[in-house]
Amino acid sequence: MRHGELAVLLSALVTASQDFVGKQLGEALKALRPRGYEETDREAFLVSQVSLARQRRQLLESPDTPRAAPSFLCPAPGAGVPEGGVYETEIEKWHFQRHQMWAEDQDLCHRSFGLWTRGGSLSCPLRYAVIGNFVGLAPGDLVLDIGSGCGHMGAWFHDWFGARTIGLDFQPAAVAFAQKYVVPVAPTQFCWMDVASQLGDWLPNRSVKLATAISVLQYLRSDAERWEAGPEPWPSSGVRNVSRTPCQKLSRTRKTQCRVAWEMFRATALGGYTWVAHNSVYQGKWDPKLTWGKRYWNCCFHEELKRQEIRISEVSELDIFMSGLTWDPTYSLILRRLA
Ligand SMILES: *[C@@H]1O[C@H](CO)[C@@H](O)[C@H](O)[C@H]1NC(C)=O
Ligand SMILES: *[C@@H]1O[C@H](CO)[C@@H](O)[C@H](O)[C@H]1NC(C)=O
């Protein structure tokens, strides 16, 4: 933040003490906002977020805090993961092999923050720190991490918040890493499975405080027969005209972004959150709001909306995760269980 801007902000704060609705502060913040952030901003912010979280953990922890690792009855190891190089579609193959390259050839579990392009940057821990603080993660809370990769988040969430994590991922090398290096130091459980097809009854209703999928669901299809924006629903499929599942039936579609988000929310306890981040990356070509329609997420949860069990919000990630201005304008889907 530049000095001039700080002065504006501070003077607005003084005025705001008289008019606490803070109209001027609001104006000042708006003026400061749409500028993007630098890596040094993110460094400072991450240190602050983590310090706050650790301090809070210390104050909240008690002898009664649950400390046992989660012990869900996951499906058999490797359930649903393509075997012997047999994939349902070319794009499924592409995503699987890309993550396999990150896990095995580039060994990003040891060398970086996990299975992200180039191993990711400080943005990875920063996203998790913001989410944990936002939902008020407390010692002993259970977290479901969809697409847990190497398990870094399970270690961070324990260290920062005292939370316990179950992580699910389709890359065997990454899950083996998490089991070898994270399980001994944090109350965690990691299961090797395909999250797109294997989230079922083994995952109890309303059992976790927070369910996360951080840069994961966009790799799944948005509808039964639709993967990407553009004339061909599946790249190189040669197919041009596929049917669109009607709104009311989206949550019953197989292996879709909606279905996985729906299962995550099903597992979210009263007052808890489901957080699906990094939607609309890659110029939005896998964003279901583009490939299926604007009402995708509302349609996905139309029953829960009708029963007033859910609040849905779609939030720009620019400010909350301090994105750079040249990055894709991504959004987070945040779901809160009200009943
Ligand atoms: C979750 O709740 C629904 C509705 O009450 C019920 O039909 C379903 O069997 C439950 N699933 C599990 C895994 O407990
Ligand atoms: C696409 O499918 C719809 C519904 O099945 C059909 O009415 C329409 O004629 C098809 N269009 C083309 C170009 O094949």
pTM, two decimals, is 0.91
Q: Does residue 83 have its Cβ closer than 6 Å to ligand 1? A: no
Q: What is the per-residue pLDDT for 54?
A: 98
Q: Which of 72, 203, 205 to mutate to test the pocket of ligand 1 (most atoms within 8 A of CB)?
A: 205
Which residue, among 145, 190, 186, has the nearest Cα to 164 in the 3D structure? 186
Q: Whose CA is nearest to atom 5 of ligand 1?
A: 205
- Domain spans of the chain, in order of start: 75-337
* Ligand 1 nearest-atom number relative to CA 202: 13
Strands of the sheet containing 208-214, edge to edge, are: 188-192, 164-169, 142-146, 208-214, 268-279, 331-337, 310-316
| Residue 119: per-residue pLDDT | 76
Beta-bridge mates of residue 165: 143, 188
Residue 319 burial class via C-beta count within 10 angstroms: exposed 0-12, middle 13-18, buried 19 and up: middle
CA distance linking residue 313 with residue 119, whole number of Å: 29
What's the CATH number for 75-337? 3.40.50.150
Residue in the structure block whose two tokens are 């405080």? 209
- Helix, strand or coil for residue 228? coil
The pLDDT score that the predictor gives to residue 147 is 98
pLDDT of residue 254: 96
215 vs 98: CA distance, rounded Å: 14
Check if 307 has its Cβ closer than 6 Å to any atom of ligand 1: no
Going by alpha carbons, the residue nearest to atom 7 of ligand 1 is 205
The reported pLDDT for the residue numbered 26 is: 73
The pLDDT of residue 241 is 86
- pLDDT for the residue 17: 62
Tell me, what's the pLDDT at 238? 87
Distance 241 CA to ligand 2 centre (A): 6
Q: Is 271 in the pocket of ligand 1 (CB under 6 A)?
A: no
- From 127, 104, 73, 95, select the one nearest 174 (Cα to Cα): 104
Which residues of the chain register pLDDT less than 50? none
- Whether 154 and 145 have beta carbons less than 8 Å apart is answered as yes
Relative to the CA of 201, which ligand 1 atom is closest?
13
Cα–Cα dist 282/235, whole Å: 15
